[in-house]
Amino acid sequence: MPTQIKFNDVTKKYGDTTVIDQLSLHIEEGELFTLLGPSGCGKTTLLRMIAGFHSVDGGTISFNEQVINDIPVNKRDIGMVFQSYAIFPHMTVKDNVKYGLNARKLPKEEKERRLEEILETVQISQYRDRLPARLSGGQQQRVALARAIVIHPKVLLMDEPLSNLDAKLRVDMRRAINEIQKEIGITTVYVTHDQEEALAISDRIAVMNKGEIQQVGSPTDIYLRPANQFVATFIGHSNLFSGKVSQKDGKNLITLSDGYRFEISTLQRDIVDGMDVTVAVRPEEFIISETDKGIEGVVLLRNFLGKYIHYEVQLPNGSKVELSQDTNTSKHFFEVNQSIKLDVMVDKINVFTSDGEQSLIEGVKRYE
Ligand SMILES: Nc1ncnc2c1ncn2[C@@H]1O[C@H](COP(=O)(O)OP(=O)(O)O)[C@@H](O)[C@H]1O
Ligand SMILES: [Mg+2]
């Protein structure tokens, strides 16, 4: 049966230090759900609580309707893959994968069938008789993955499984993990601190900071409509400006500190006149021109990247802004030292309270 994982007011303490305080979260059946956040924010702690390696010090964790707080590790029916491959060096690929099955009471033919099936799925059939020392890092990680899923666990847990691989292999393995997960449809909780990896692999992401969930959503939701300044700057780059809201004829305007003013229709209805705000603009959300309206700046650096041109621009107040221009759709490019004007794509930019804690865009909420 497909498994839902529910955290209800879960608390975790190490000694006197509370690292997770009354966290609630629902992970849906069959989804690839990622816990994303900086090192030390509590991702591994949550994962190890699901696995049963850490006690739950308050609240409950459930699989479907069953509370698992007191169920021992070996009865939870979980597959795990870690950063270090943790496969046995003296056993062949086949024996490593089979190892997980040996603890199960299954007919011999069924074990053989599952073994063949999983070796195929993770594409390591041709290495079945090799020892791990003669495999690449990516192949070793496929063996670890096969061993975790051959038992058909209820839940698959992966803690930074790609961080020991080189960049190119990481990208290949992202796709492999995604395809395998979809094929077997097992509820998967994936931990990473790499935002690009999280965006590429996940059905949904929980962005965490300091033991708290900041936002839960699809990769597009989280990138396009971050719930606060932390999410906007942790996922991709956001240029931040301070501004003030004013209202005229029932419309909202924002004036940036350098005086540039624009109308904006995406703000929440209960916004108040005179409110101080933080405006977040991604590099691709500027419209650059020589003469039109906009924030004034001077090009400091230009970096041609093929599909995009990346500019670093200095503003009169000394701060720097990063922007990118689509090579394909741009009429002309700008030179170093050139004075330019930066208009913003008003429907796309994000606006937060001045402390950065809350998005002020209609419909965007922090996770509660
Ligand atoms: N066994 C432990 N004893 C004491 N503190 C711990 C232990 N494990 C983790 N911590 C602390 O708990 C916090 C969360 O750690 P962790 O879950 O490993 O974060 P992440 O996986 O996001 O990097 C950190 O401040 C870390 O120092
Ligand atoms: Mg960790």
Q: Which helix (H) or strand (E) holds 305?
A: none
Q: What local confidence, expressed as pLDDT, does residue 36 receive?
A: 98
- Right CATH for 283-348 from 2.40.50.140, 3.40.50.2000, 3.40.50.20, 2.60.40.420: 2.40.50.140
53 lines ligand 1 (CB under 6 A): no
Q: 237-280+350-368: same fold as 5-231?
A: no
Q: What local confidence, expressed as pLDDT, does residue 103 receive?
A: 76
19 lines ligand 1 (CB under 6 A): yes
Q: What local confidence, expressed as pLDDT, does residue 165 receive?
A: 84
Q: Which residues surround ligand 2, an ion (CB under 5 A)?
A: 44
Domain ranges of the chain: 5-231, 237-280+350-368, 283-348
pLDDT digits 0-9 by tens, 4-39? 999 999 999 999 999 999 999 999 999 999 999 999
CATH topology (fold) of 5-231? Rossmann fold (3.40.50)
Q: What local confidence, expressed as pLDDT, does residue 322 receive?
A: 97
For a substitution probing ligand 1, which of 41, 45, 214 has the most ligand atoms within 8 Å of its CB? 45
The CA R_g of the chain, rounded to the nearest whole Å, is 25
- Right CATH for 237-280+350-368 from 3.30.60, 3.30.450, 2.40.50, 3.40.1440: 2.40.50
In 199-266, the DSSP E strands lie at 204-209, 212-217, 239-248, 251-256, 261-264
The one-letter amino acid at 367: Y
pLDDT digits 0-9 by tens, 63-105? 999 999 999 998 999 999 988 767 899 999 999 999 878 878 8
Q: Rounded to whole angstroms, how far apart are CA atoms 306 and 141?
A: 33
**Which parts of the chain have pLDDT scores under 50?**
none
Q: Which atom of ligand 1 is nearest to the CA of 37?
A: 22
Q: What local confidence, expressed as pLDDT, does residue 168 receive?
A: 85
Q: What local confidence, expressed as pLDDT, does residue 85 receive?
A: 67
